Structure formats: structure tokens, C-alpha cells
Amino acid sequence: MPSPEPRHPAALRSEREGGFFAGLDLVQIFSVLGLLGIGLVFIYSTGRGYGGGGSQAFFRQLQWIGLGSCLWLLCALTDYRRAAFRLAVFSAYAAVVVLLILTLRFGVRIYGAVRWIEIGSVRLQPSEFAKVVMVLFLAVVFSAPRFDVNRKTGLLLSLLIFTPLFFLIAREPDLGSAAVLLPAYIGMIFCAGLRWRPILIATVAVLLIGGAIALNETLRIRPLLRDYQRDRIRVFFNPDSDRRNRGYNVYQSRLAVGSGGFSGKGIGRGEQNTLGFLPHTVANNDFIFSVIAEETGYAGSLILLGLYALLMYSIWRTAFLACDPLGRFIACGIGCLMIFHIFVNIGMSIGIAPVTGLPLPFVSYGGSFILASMASCGLLQSVHRHRRRES
């Protein structure tokens, strides 16, 4: 009996694209909805702590989530394999560079940093969108047929994409957001198949440059860091050196996490939050994990981490099942961005990472980060919808 003829790729593609809803990654949807719900609950809780009723930030976050959901749907409906998508990525990169330059020139200064730009009545933080756009631009370049990251021209091209965004964001200054670009870039060049020799050379170069910078900052020959950035590093290595000033937030955050016990004190009953020991300016964004840990304890923190584990599983599964290199690079880069944000935000709440101001994905209060994160997950859904067949 003759063996059946192999199915045509177009036929297989039509099967796996049987419908928009049939192709969605339900694991991602479940984890993101759970995280957004947790974020709303504790944004409301932190608002109650300082007499605002919790409603203002809560309803603003709801608005951002609504707008982000529209972006998620738009990106999920986008076919990332089309040439129009690549053209849109090139345009987005140019637009982000222009926005970052305009931010430095005309941006809103808050706490000594110029990271936001007002467009009409809306205040946006372009660095949040720059993270995603860099990943997409690198993914498009890395997936080009003749691109080879091991050639000098290939590696140089990738650095020309990464470097302008890194230095423009660092100039704001926002070293935390600039630092996020680095693990995403490194993760993607690993995914592109960079050989060990360039990695070793780059490692030695980074160690030498880092040592020179550390020596320069220690001796204050030509300091690059601002005083508050230097103080943050000092407090990180010696948390008890400045409890009343630079180390205050970290100290109160660690007290909040440690006092939560197994089941917590109850939502809205955390003393560090409600009594204002953990300042309201950071309680609903940078240190929201501390509020969650105090009010829900170990059990609640474990649920939160479980949702993040599900989200990361869905991202790496999407990368593994991607039907082409472009989809794999997109998923890899977004995964690196997410995991770095999660690790650093929770790490600084418990004192194992320096304070950098990085928000907790889908949980922290903030419009630009919600929009960028929702768009990222929408793109991951696009990659998942067009995945190769699962055996």
C-alpha cells in the first residue's frame, strides 16, 4: 500500500489557523488576567493607606488596562510574518529614538529625572516602549536570511541597534530601564547562535570596563553616576548604613515582607502600608510586592510567583513552537525582558537586588509599562497562533 503523500505546508497552516480563538495561548491569558487582578486589588489597597480611598489610582489603572487590552487584541490579530510588520518595526524604532530625544529636551522632570513626555493630556514614558521595540528590531534583523551574528558586521549591526537606546535612556537618567535592555540583548544573541569566542572577549571587556568605572567612581576622578545612584549602590551592599534616608524604603520593605508570616495580615490591613511607613509614592509601583507579601503572607506571594511561572512557561513554550526564527527571537527577547523585571523588582523588595525603579509586570501601577507589556503579550499570541504543529 503506497504511503500517504506529505501534506502541503499551506494546508497545514490553514489547519492550525482554524480560528482566532482556537489558536490563542490560554495559559498566557489566564496568568496575565490573574496578575492584572492582583495588581488592581493591591493598587486599591495602597490607595486606602494614605486616605485617598484607593479609587483614583485604581480607576486610572483600569483605564490603562482597557487601552492595553485593545493593544493586546490588535497585536494578537497582527500577522508578524508579513513584510508590513517588518516595515512597522523599522518605523517604530525611528519613532522611539525621536521620542527619547524629545524627552531629554522637553520632558517632564520628576524627582530629578526626565523620563516622561506629555502628549496632550497623556504622560508617557518612552523608555518602556523602547524595550519592546529594541527586541522587535533585533528579531527582524537576526531573522534576515543572510544575517550571521558571528560575523563582525552582524555583531556590529546588533550593537548599533542596542547602543543608541541604551545611552538615550541612561541619559534621562534611568539606569534601571537601560539595564533591562542588556539581558534582552544578550539573550537574543545567544538565541542567534553566537559562538563562545566573542562571548569570552566581550566578558573580559565588560570586566575591564566595569572595573575601570568602579575605580573611577570610587576615586571620583570623573564621576558618571549621580549622587543618589551612588548612594543606592552603597546602601545595597550595606543595607543598614542609611536607614533614615537612602535605605529607608528598602528597610521598610523588608519589614513588610518579613511581618507577613504565612497567611498575611489581611488585604488593606498591612501596617507598613496603611500607616505610611512604606511611602505611598512607591507602595503601588516599585514596592508593591512588599504590600502583597505583608497582607497575604507567604501563601499569597507563592500564588503570585506561581502565576509568573505560568507566564514564563507560556513564553518559552511559544518560543519553542514558533514556526520561524522571527517568532522565536520575539518570544526569546520578550521573555528576557519579563524575567529580568520580575527578578529585580522582587529582589529589591527583599534586599537582594539594588533599587532601580523597575515595575512588577502587570501588577505595578503605571500606564506606559502596562501598555508595553500588553502589546508584548499580544505579539506573543500572534507568534503562538502561527506556531508549527505540535506533535
pLDDT tens digit sequence for 54-111: 578 889 999 999 999 999 999 999 999 999 999 999 999 999 999 999 999 888 887 7
Q: Are 254 and 348 in contact (CB under 8 A)?
A: no
Residue 16 has pLDDT above 60, yes or no: no
Structure confidence at residue 12 (pLDDT): 45
Q: Tens of pLDDT along 193-222?
A: 888 777 777 777 777 877 777 776 666 766
- Residues in CB range of 223: below 8 A, 6 or more apart: 216, 217, 230
What is the amino acid identity at position 186? Answer: I
Q: Coil, helix or strand for 226?
A: coil
Cell of 381: 499570541
Smallest CA-to-CA distance from 169 within 92, 91, 99, 88 is with 99
Run of H or E including 218: helix 196-219
Measure the CA angle with vertex 247, ends 243 and 253; round to 5°.
95
Q: Are 110 and 116 in contact (CB under 8 A)?
A: yes
Q: What is the mean pLDDT of residues 302-327?
A: 95
Length of the chain measured in residues: 391
C-alpha to C-alpha distance for 96 and 105, rounded to whole angstroms: 14
**E strands of 77-143, at which residues?**
108-110, 113-119, 122-124
Residue 376 has pLDDT above 90, yes or no: yes
Q: Tens of pLDDT along 234-261?
A: 766 666 666 777 778 888 888 888 888 8
Q: Coil, helix or strand for 173?
A: coil
Q: Are 362 and 285 in contact (CB under 8 A)?
A: no
Give Cα 243 to chain centroid, integer Å.
29
Q: Coil, helix or strand for 108?
A: strand
**E strands of 107-161, at which residues?**
108-110, 113-119, 122-124
Cell of 163: 547602543
**Percent of the chain that is helix, strand, coil (3-state, to 5):** 70, 5, 25
Least confident of 83-92, 112-121, 178-187, 315-324: 112-121
